[in-house]
């Protein structure tokens, strides 16, 4: 059921991270500026993730679950589900979470897990996207927010934002440009969701009641 959220009744989310957490920070900053979202918990599989520090500074509860403490992926995911369920998040936001999620996890949070990927999917799923854009001399690069399904980086696309690659760009500059873009794109998608404009499914996304094309919303900032 589609619900509307506002500052009195903010959209409850959980954010999963593994590293720097700059996208987490962008969401924290957008909330401070009025985005009607509440981050209930930040969970990391990496105890060194700088994002944990960012969460603590924003007074958001944090939790670490390390893979080495669980015999199988499903055992890990069962604990992750139990931990998340305590906080009743409407959305699970993957923000640089470097783990494959099991079918068990994905089914439990069916159509409620979002990921941000640093490429214009379906081009370049997986890692090293900036290097590939550079190697292939692509003229355009960008970022994608999509629904997470069992297929890695292949769930239905909610939104993309693209930019023209300069001749002077290299993988480092592309990384920096993508990050800047992502810090606008992820909060923007959360705002649309909070406004009740998005209806998410395993194979399609509706925006204001209309089926979106495969590339999702094309946004520029
Ligand atoms: C982002 O570039 C995102 O697209 C990818 O992982 C990176 C996370 O960066 N999934 P950060 O930890 O948010 O800085």
pLDDT at residue 132 greater than cutoff 80: yes
Return the pLDDT at 116.
98
CA 79 to the chain's CA centroid: 20
Closest ligand 1 atom to Cα of 25? 13
- Residue 118: CB within 6 Å of ligand 1? yes
Residue of minimum CA distance from atom 7 in ligand 1:
96
pLDDT in tens, 13-70: 999 999 999 999 999 999 999 999 999 999 999 999 999 999 999 999 999 999 999 9
Asked if 35 contacts 191 with a C-beta cutoff of 8 angstroms, the reply is yes
Active site residue 117: yes
Return the pLDDT at 117.
98
> Measured between alpha carbons, how far is 221 from 107 in angstroms, rounded to an integer?
33
Active-site residue identified among 63, 108, 117, 141: 117
What separation in Å is there between the alpha carbon of 125 and the centre of ligand 1?
14
Sign, CA torsion 32/42/91/175: positive
Return the pLDDT at 202.
86
Residue 153, phi-psi category: left (phi > 0), alpha (psi -120 to 50), beta (remainder): left
The dihedrals phi and psi of 9, each to the nearest 5 degrees, come to -135, 70
Return the pLDDT at 32.
98
> Measured between alpha carbons, how far is 57 from 127 in angstroms, rounded to an integer?
30
Return the pLDDT at 83.
98
Return the pLDDT at 16.
98
- Residue 180: CB within 6 Å of ligand 1? no
Return the pLDDT at 137.
97
Q: What is the mean pLDDT of residues 163-184?
A: 97
The SS3 assignment for 1 reads coil
What separation in Å is there between the alpha carbon of 26 and the centre of ligand 1?
11
Mutation test of ligand 1: which of 16, 49, 100, 118 has the most ligand atoms closer than 8 Å to its C-beta?
A: 118
Asked if 171 contacts 131 with a C-beta cutoff of 8 angstroms, the reply is yes
- Residue 175: CB within 6 Å of ligand 1? no
Q: What is the mean pLDDT of the chain?
A: 97
- Residue 23: CB within 6 Å of ligand 1? yes
| pTM (2 d.p.) | 0.97
- Residue 21: CB within 6 Å of ligand 1? yes
Closest ligand 1 atom to Cα of 179? 2
Return the pLDDT at 2.
83
Identify the band that residue 181 occupies on the pLDDT scale cut at 50, 70 and 90. Answer: very high
pLDDT at residue 130 greater than cutoff 90: yes
């Amino acid at each position: 059921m589609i619900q509307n959220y506002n500052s009195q009744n903010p959209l409850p989310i959980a954010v999963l991270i593994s590293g720097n957490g700059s996208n987490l920070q962008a969401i924290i900053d957008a909330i401070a500026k009025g985005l009607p979202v509440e981050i209930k918990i930040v969970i990391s599989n990496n105890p060194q993730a700088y994002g944990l520090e960012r969460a603590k500074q924003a007074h958001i509860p944090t939790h670490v679950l390390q893979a080495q403490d669980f015999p199988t992926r499903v055992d890990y995911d069962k604990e992750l589900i139990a931990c998340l369920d305590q906080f009743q998040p409407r959305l699970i936001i993957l923000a640089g979470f470097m783990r494959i999620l099991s079918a068990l996890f994905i089914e439990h949070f069916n159509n409620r897990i979002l990921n941000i990927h640093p490429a214009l999917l379906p081009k370049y799923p997986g890692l090293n996207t900036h290097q590939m854009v550079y190697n292939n001399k692509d003229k355009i690069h960008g970022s994608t927010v999509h629904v997470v399904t069992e297929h890695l980086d292949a769930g239905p696309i909610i939104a993309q934002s693209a930019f023209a690659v300069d001749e002077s760009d290299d993988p480092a500059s592309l990384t920096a440009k993508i990050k800047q873009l992502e810090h606008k794109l992820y909060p923007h998608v959360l705002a649309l969701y909070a406004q009740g404009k998005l209806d998410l499914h395993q194979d399609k996304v509706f925006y204001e009641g209309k089926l979106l094309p495969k590339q999702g919303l094309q946004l520029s900032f």
